[in-house]
Amino acid sequence: MNTETSGLAGKHAVVTGGGSGIGAATAEALVRAGARVTLMGRDAARLAAQRDALNALSLSGTAGDIACIAVDVTQEVAVAAAFEQAGSVDILINNAGQAQAAPFAQTDIALWQRMLDVNLTGVFLCTRAVLPGMLERGYGRIVNVASTAGQTGYAYVAAYCAAKHGVIGLTRALALEVATKGVTVNAVCPGYTETELLRASLDQITSKTSRSEEEARRILLRNNPQQRFVAPEEVANAALWLCMPGSAAITGQSISVSGGEVT
């Protein structure tokens, strides 16, 4: 059996925001590497559909290799209950997130808090749920899906940028705290990726500026050296690498997956 299909055999991974986009692609990569995966997210129907698709890839082919648990990662009590149900976790992919644009002067406290809650507090709550068990066993992999917005600034998404900068700060601090405990903590930072979030960004540009979708795409790609959007599978491959046995020396890093936009 090769490394692609056995490197994570016996490991249990939880992927938040696992019903679509980067989360779904990462869950598939983990399954292909032999992991047992639990999908978490708010949309139970979407999670169930993704679970059914992933069960077809399961190494053993038995029901239960892929599980799904509906949960809002911003709710402390609900998160604790979800991870209690999930059981022991070896790998955590903190992928759940949301982006919403607004000029700073029009960013009200509700928008500000919503961006912090889903993009930063959710990472905190889920990590807090799994860390004690990882420390007890002396093994764990935590990968936070941040964004190039956490490495640089973008206009009109101040709240989102602040939250993603916070994710990278949390990643670095926690990595140092657990560096000798067998637990690694890293972040992957996608640029604009072909997901529903990108679709929403394109729709917002076209609706507010009367530009065509092609023009909107050019606007978003103007600072990308490769002049293309990232595929979810490319982000998933970076996350998977950070979970594999050979990545034990990699911790506290924020790895840009952005076609060279951030170096």
Span 60-84, mean pLDDT? 87
Taking only the tens place, the pLDDT of each residue in 7-48 is 999 999 999 999 999 999 999 999 999 999 999 999 999 999
248 versus 3: which is more confidently predicted?
Answer: 248
Strand order through the sheet with 91-94 = 66-70, 36-41, 12-16, 91-94, 140-145, 183-190, 254-257
pLDDT of residue 1: 36
Least confident of 27-41, 59-73, 77-91, 103-117: 59-73
pLDDT of residue 208: 75
Residue 182, Ramachandran bin (φ over 0: left; ψ between -120 and 50: alpha; else beta): left
- In this prediction, residue 122 has a pLDDT band, given cuts at 50, 70 and 90, of very high
pLDDT of residue 5: 55
pLDDT of residue 4: 52
- Measured in Å, how far apart are the chain's first and last C-alpha atoms? 36
DSSP state of 193: B
Superfamily for the 3-190+231-256 domain: NAD(P)-binding Rossmann-like Domain (3.40.50.720)
The domain spans of the chain are 3-190+231-256, 195-229
pLDDT of residue 3: 43
Q: Residue 160 catalytic?
A: yes
Active-site residue, selected from the candidate residues 139, 156, 160, 192: 160
- In this prediction, residue 263 has a pLDDT band, given cuts at 50, 70 and 90, of confident
Q: What percent of the chain has pLDDT over 90?
A: 78
100 versus 173: which is more confidently predicted?
Answer: 173
Q: What percent of the chain has pLDDT over 70?
A: 95
pLDDT of residue 220: 84
The runs of H, that is alpha helices, within 2-75 are: 3-6, 21-32, 44-55
Indicate if the pLDDT at residue 65 is higher than 90. no
pLDDT of residue 195: 81
Taking only the tens place, the pLDDT of each residue in 180-232 is 999 999 999 999 888 877 777 777 777 777 788 887 888 888 889 998 999 99
